[in-house]
A and B are shown apart, each in its own frame.
Chain A
Amino acid sequence: NAGVMQNPRHLVRRRGQEARLRCSPMKGHSHVYWYRQLPEEGLKFMVYLQKENIIDESGMPKERFSAEFPKEGPSILRIQQVVRGDSAAYFCASSPPTGQGGPSLHFGNGTRLTVT
């Protein structure tokens, strides 16, 4: 009965490299959310996905950031050509299909990205 699994827990990238963050939702959950958190701040919504669909990406920067949730496998948040300002904790959360025990979110423990 695993919870939301994120990996890696810590990721260090040099400026200009790519960062790939993975999230496996809880079993039976079909909704995935990505949030970004800077130190001492709240969570900023980035994107909301269902299997093979991006439902809302209004919180995603227009460039360099992309997200997917394929039919098989984890959800991926991809940051291309990282810059120092991308350093943050990135949290993934999942929820069951609408009307099935929701609407609360179950969070992973985050990936802490450090850009050097």
Chain B
Amino acid sequence: SQQGEEDPQALSIQEGENATMNCSYKTSINNLQWYRQNSGRGLVHLILIRSNEREKHSGRLRVTLDTSKKSSSLLITASRAADTASYFCATDDFNKFYFGSGTKLNVKP
């Protein structure tokens, strides 16, 4: 299975701190994506990084990809209470998308 697995399962930080979540996967990928899910809602796409990229930024988000280690990290800088959600990585296998179990982030005001 190519399914990504996130680490840690849960993370609790104070507003203003940075949050780092990691994702590991098993086989080669075309790209890796990060999604966010608020409680009771569907997932929202955050950022995509292609297999030939090493780092990508979008606002307060920074994603890295290390294909030799089959891992990715998502960094949220200067976190806000509104960032409280679950975060999932997803790998793409010929238009099939596999999700990990997610990291549950709690940002305390």
Contact in complex: A45, B43 (CB < 8 Å): no
Contact in complex: A42, B48 (CB < 8 Å): no
Binding stretch for chain A, among B57-65, B73-81, B90-98? B90-98
Q: Say yes or no: is A56 at the interface (Cβ < 8 Å to chain B).
A: yes
Q: Say yes or no: is A98 at the interface (Cβ < 8 Å to chain B).
A: yes
Contacts A42-B88, A48-B96 given; does A106 touch B102 at CB 8 Å:
no
- Using a Cβ–Cβ cut-off of 8 Å, how many residues does chain B contribute to the interface with A? 24
Interface of B is mostly: strand
Among candidates A104, A106, A109, residue contacting B33 with C-beta atoms closer than 8 Å: A104
List the A residue with the shortest CB-CB distance to B46.
Answer: A104
* A55 CA to B96 CA, complexed, in Å: 10
Output the least CB separation between B20 and chain A (Å): 19
* A112 CA to B104 CA, complexed, in Å: 20
Among candidates B45, B92, B99, B101, residue contacting A35 with C-beta atoms closer than 8 Å: B99
* A41 CA to B43 CA, complexed, in Å: 13
Contact in complex: B102, A110 (CB < 8 Å): no
Contact in complex: B101, A41 (CB < 8 Å): yes
Q: Say yes or no: is A69 at the interface (Cβ < 8 Å to chain B).
A: no
Interchain Cβ contacts under 8 Å between A and B, 25 examples: A33-B97, A40-B104, A41-B102, A42-B3, A42-B99, A42-B100, A43-B43, A43-B88, A44-B99, A48-B95, A48-B96, A55-B95, A56-B96, A91-B42, A91-B43, A93-B43, A98-B95, A103-B30, A103-B95, A104-B33, A104-B45, A104-B48, A105-B43, A107-B42, A107-B44
Taking Cβ atoms with an 8 Å cutoff, the residues of B that contact A are 3, 30-31, 33, 35, 40-45, 48, 88, 90, 92, 95-102, 104
